Chains A and B, each alone.
Chain A
Amino acid sequence: MKISLTINQTLHELDVDETTPLLWVLRDELGLKGTKFGCGAGLCGACSVHLNGNVVRACSFPIKFAQDANVTTIEGLKQNGKLHAVQQAWIEEQVPQCGYCQPGFIMAAAHLLERKTNPSDQDIDQSVTNLCRCGTYERVRAAIHRAARFVSHESHEAH
C-alpha cells in the first residue's frame, strides 16, 4: 500500500506491504536503525517510538495504522543538534551497559516527562515497562529524576 507519514519532522511517502510493522519500515526502508528489534511481540519495549504523542511498540504496530501519523524515533530526539534532557541525563548517570534496549527506555522516559514534569518513583514504575537484560534499571530511574530536574531548571530559566 501507499502510505505517507511524518518521521522526525520529515514527510515520507512509501509503498510497502500493509502488514509490515512500523519497526521494519523504520529500519529497512528508512535506515533508522536506532529503533531496535527485541521480541516482536510488544513485550520488551526496545522498539518504542512516539506516534501522535503516544509511546508505541513499533514491532507490533502495522504500518497501515500509521497513515498520516507523526512519528519521533531516537534519531529525532535531539533538537537543533542539542541532546534531549533525557539523553543528557543518560550520559551523566552513565546508564547504558550493552545499550541495545536503551533507545526504547529513552523514548519511554521522554514521553513520561512530557506528561509529568516531576515523576515519582511510582510513576516511573508504572510508565517504564521496558526490559533490560543487563539490569540498568537503577540508573534508568536515577536518570529520569535527573532529567526532570533539568527540565524544571530550563523552564525556570525560560520564565
Chain B
Amino acid sequence: MTTATKTVEINRRHFLRATALLAGGFMVRWEIAAPASAAGATVITDISDAKPAVLNPWIQITPDNWTTIVVSQAEMGQGIETTLSAIVADELGSDWKRVRRENSLVGPAYQNPQYHWQFTGNAESIRTFHDYVRTLAAAAREMLIAAAAARWKIEPEQLRVADSFIFDDRNGRKASFGELAVAASKIAAPAKPKLKPRKDWKLVGGVELERVDIPAKIDGSAVFGIDVVVPNMAHAAVPFPRAFGATIERVNTDAAKAMPGVVDIVVLRQALTANGEKSDAVIAVAEKYWQAARALSAVDVSWSPPPTGLFDSKTIEAAYETAFAGKPFEPVVHEGDADKRLASDAENVVSAEYHSGWQAHAPLEPMNCTAFVDGDRCTLWAPTQGQEMCQIVLSYGLGIPKQNVIVNRTYLGGGFGRRLIADYAALAAYASRAVHRPVKLIWSREMDMARDHYRPAFTQRVRAALGADGAPAAMEIKLVAPTILRPVSPGPFPNPKIDPLCVEALDEIAYPIENLKVGFHLLDVPVPTMVWRTTGAGPNFFFLESFIDELAHRADEDPYRYRRRLLAKKSGNERLLAVLDLAAEKSGMARPANDELARGIACGFGFGSYFAQVVEARVTDDLTVDIRRVVSVIDCGTVLDPRIASASIASGVVWGLSQAYAAEISFADGGVAETNFNGYRILTLPDAPPTETHFIDSGQKLGGIGELGPLGVPPALTNAIFAATGKRLRALPLARSGVKFRGSNNLA
C-alpha cells in the first residue's frame, strides 16, 4: 500500500480531467461525490515511467499497444464484461484482440450516470452506460488523434483510426495508440467529443462476440469471491438462528476455541450488517474453512426469540389479508371514476385475486467475502453488485472514512439482486478486525437460505367492468407488498408510502382503461425483503397479463387478438404491438395451429424494453405440463450483441419458470422453513424448454435486457394452461395447485 499517496494525487488529476469532459449534470455530481481517492484507484499509479498511460478512469493504454478498459459493472453471468468493453473499444478504435479488462474499484467515474450510485442491477448496465462510456472513449480517441496531429504537424481531420493505430493515409504513415498514449494523456479532454455513427460500429450492433470470461469459466481458473487467496488469510463460518432478529442470550465459546485450527470465535452483538439493519452473530475463525465449520457445532449458544415473535407462513398471509380488509391504500393511478363505473354495473363486475409467492435469490455461489481490516483501513475482495454499498456500510460499521474502504470486485457466481447489499461483507470485516488477519468468510447454503433478503409475496386484487365491446371500461387494482427497494437504495422515496419498484407495470398500463384506479399498501413484515430479478414488474405482469387473458376469454375473443385490439386503441403502443405480432407470428399463435399444443401469450414494457412471449406446452387434464418451446420477442431499441442478449433472455425464461413452478420460501418458527435446494426447488435440466428469441431493431433508445426474460413467462404459462384445461391458476408457484412439470420426478 506504499503507492497510496501517489495514487490519490494522480487520480485526482484524472478525476478533474474526466470531470471537464462531461456535461453539466455529471460535473456537479462528481464535485459533490468525489472522495479524496476519487476515480479508479486500480490504475497503476505512475504515468511518467511509461507504464499505462491513463486517458481517463475507464481507459489506459500501454506502450505495447494494449488497451485496458476499467469496467464498472459486475460480471455475474450477463456478459457485461464483454459488451461494455466492446462498446468502449469500438468507439475508441481499439483492436479487439489487444484489449484487456480490469474491474473498477469504487469511484465517481464508475457510478451509474443516472442514479449517481455505483451498483450493477435493474438491467441498467447497457442502457445507462452506453452513451456515457462512448463519450469517454470518443474523448480518448480525439486525444490520441490530437497527439498524432501534433507529432506530424498536420490537421487532425486528415487522420483515421483503426485497430489501435492512427493512420495518416495521405503521407503513408501510422502510429500506434501505445506510441501516442503518453502525449495524448497530457492533452485536455475535448468538451464535446463526436460519437461514431451507428453505421461505423464494428464490435456492437448485431455482432456476436465470444464472451471474454468463458475460457476461464470452463477450466476452473476464473476467480470468484470464494476463490480469493490473500497471504496469511484465515477462514470463517457463521451461524444464524432461524428466527429473524433473534439475539444472543448466552454463549460459551470455550469448547469451540479448543477445536483444531481455531483462531478465535468472534461474538457480534447488534453489528451493522446492512443499510439500517443490525444482527447478532457468532463467527468461527480457523486456519481452514472446514475447521471453522466444525468449530461452529461446538459453540454453545442460546438465542432469545425476537420481539416480533415466532411467526409462520399463516401469520404472514394474515397480514396481507388484514391489509386488504381495511388498511389505507395510497393512490398510484387515478384516472376517470372507477368507483362509479364499477358501482353502476355491479352485477357484471369481474373480480379476482392474484398471488406471487416468496422467493429467495439463491445464487449458486454462496455469500462470501474476504476482508482485511488493518487499523483504520479496510480492504475487501467481494463478489458484489454493490461496491459502493459495501464501502458505505463498512465505513459506518467500522467507523472509518469511506475512502479507507477499498472494495475489490471479483466474478460473481450469480447475483439476481442478492449481492446489492453488504451483509456478508460486513461480517467478514468484523471477523478480520477481531483476529487482526485477513479473513475469508463463507456462508453455508443453509445460512444463505436463512438470511437472504427475500422477494416478498405480491398480492393483487382486481375488479373490472367491461364495456359493450368487451374491453375493460373500469378497473380497480389493489396491490399489497412489502418494500423491495429500501434496502438497496440510499435515498428516500418520493412518496414514503409508495415503493416505486413495487408498483412497476401497474403505474403505466398499456391497455386503454378509461376509469382506472391503482392503489398500493406498503406492508410491514418481520422478514427482510429486497429486489430480486424482475423487481416489481415480475409479479405485477403475472397478474396483469393473466387478468387480461381472463377478460379476453370473457369477451370470447382470441387472447392475442383481444390484446391487439385493445392496444391499437391507444397511441404510443406501436412498438408493443410489433413485438406482440411477431411473437404470435413466430409461435404459430397468429393462425390456428394444427397440433396438440396449448399456447399462452403475454406482453408488456419494462426496464426500457418491450417484450412479448409465448409458451407452447402440452398440458393434460391432471395438470402435467410439458413445455415444448418458449418464444420471446424483444425490442430493446438496438440489440448490441444478439447472442449474449439471447442467452440472457433464455436464462430469464428459466428464472420465470422456476418461480412459476415450484420454488417458494415459506416460514416457520420466526424464520425461513427451507434450508437448502431440496426445499427451495429451482428448475432442473429436464424442465428447461427450448427457447427462441427474436429482436426487433427499432433503432430507439437502448433498453434493458437482464430483467426482461422472465417477465412474460409465468402469465404466458398459466394462460397456456387455461387454454388447454379451462383452469385459471392465479397463485404462484403452481406446484401448490397440483401442476407437475415433466421432469418433476427429479425433485426431492
Asked if B232 lies at the interface with its beta carbon under 8 angstroms from chain A, I say: no
In the complex, how many residues of chain A place their beta carbon closer than 8 angstroms to a beta carbon of chain B?
A: 58
Contact assessment for B653 and A39 in the assembled complex, using a CB-CB cutoff below 8 Å: no
Q: How far is the CB of B729 from chain A (nearest CB, A)?
A: 22
Q: Which of B78, B79, B218, B227 has the most CB of A within 10 A?
A: B218
Known A-B contacts A37-B226, A43-B677, A98-B76; A135 and B655 likewise in contact (beta carbons under 8 Å): yes
Q: Give the residues from 27 to 42 in chain A that come closer than 8 angstroms, CB to CB, to chain B.
A: 27-29, 31-41
C-alpha spacing A90/B213, complex, angstroms: 12
For B224, list chain A residues within 8 Å (CB). Answer: 36, 100
Contact assessment for B647 and A99 in the assembled complex, using a CB-CB cutoff below 8 Å: no
Contact assessment for A135 and B364 in the assembled complex, using a CB-CB cutoff below 8 Å: no
Asked if A66 lies at the interface with its beta carbon under 8 angstroms from chain B, I say: no
C-alpha spacing A157/B219, complex, angstroms: 26
Asked if A156 lies at the interface with its beta carbon under 8 angstroms from chain B, I say: no
**Selected contact of A132 from candidates B213, B290, B364, CB within 8 Å:** B364
Known A-B contacts A78-B219, A129-B684, A137-B654; A94 and B77 likewise in contact (beta carbons under 8 Å): no
Asked if B288 lies at the interface with its beta carbon under 8 angstroms from chain A, I say: yes
C-alpha spacing A36/B217, complex, angstroms: 12
Contact assessment for A40 and B214 in the assembled complex, using a CB-CB cutoff below 8 Å: no
Task: Write the B512-530 contact mask toward A (1 if CB under 8 angstroms, else 0).
Answer: 0000000000000000000
Contact assessment for A138 and B650 in the assembled complex, using a CB-CB cutoff below 8 Å: yes
C-alpha spacing A98/B413, complex, angstroms: 5
Q: Give the residues from 708 to 748 in chain B that come closer than 8 angstroms, CB to CB, to chain A.
A: 743, 746, 748
For A77, list chain B residues within 8 Å (CB). Answer: 219
Contact assessment for B218 and A141 in the assembled complex, using a CB-CB cutoff below 8 Å: no
Known A-B contacts A24-B289, A44-B364, A98-B365; A75 and B219 likewise in contact (beta carbons under 8 Å): yes
Contact assessment for B685 and A94 in the assembled complex, using a CB-CB cutoff below 8 Å: no
Contact assessment for A135 and B683 in the assembled complex, using a CB-CB cutoff below 8 Å: yes
Asked if A7 lies at the interface with its beta carbon under 8 angstroms from chain B, I say: no
**Selected contact of A34 from candidates B220, B445, B652, CB within 8 Å:** B220
For A74, list chain B residues within 8 Å (CB). Answer: 219-220
User: Which chain A residue has the least Cβ–Cβ distance from B444?
Assistant: A40
Contact assessment for A106 and B413 in the assembled complex, using a CB-CB cutoff below 8 Å: no
Asked if B453 lies at the interface with its beta carbon under 8 angstroms from chain A, I say: no
Asked if B363 lies at the interface with its beta carbon under 8 angstroms from chain A, I say: yes
User: Which chain B residue has the least Cβ–Cβ distance from A108?
Assistant: B685
Q: How far is the CB of A80 from chain B (nearest CB, A)?
A: 14
Known A-B contacts A28-B235, A91-B218; A98 and B77 likewise in contact (beta carbons under 8 Å): yes
Contact assessment for A133 and B290 in the assembled complex, using a CB-CB cutoff below 8 Å: no
For B446, list chain A residues within 8 Å (CB). Answer: 40
Asked if B222 lies at the interface with its beta carbon under 8 angstroms from chain A, I say: yes
Q: With A28-B289, A102-B217, A136-B651 given, can you name 13 additional A-B contacts, CB distance below 8 Å?
A: A17-B290, A24-B288, A39-B677, A94-B214, A94-B643, A96-B77, A96-B213, A97-B79, A98-B415, A125-B685, A129-B746, A138-B688, A138-B691
Q: List 21 A-B contacts (CB under 8 A).
A: A21-B290, A24-B288, A35-B220, A37-B442, A41-B676, A83-B219, A94-B647, A95-B218, A96-B77, A96-B213, A96-B214, A99-B213, A100-B413, A102-B217, A106-B218, A125-B685, A131-B682, A131-B684, A136-B647, A141-B685, A141-B688
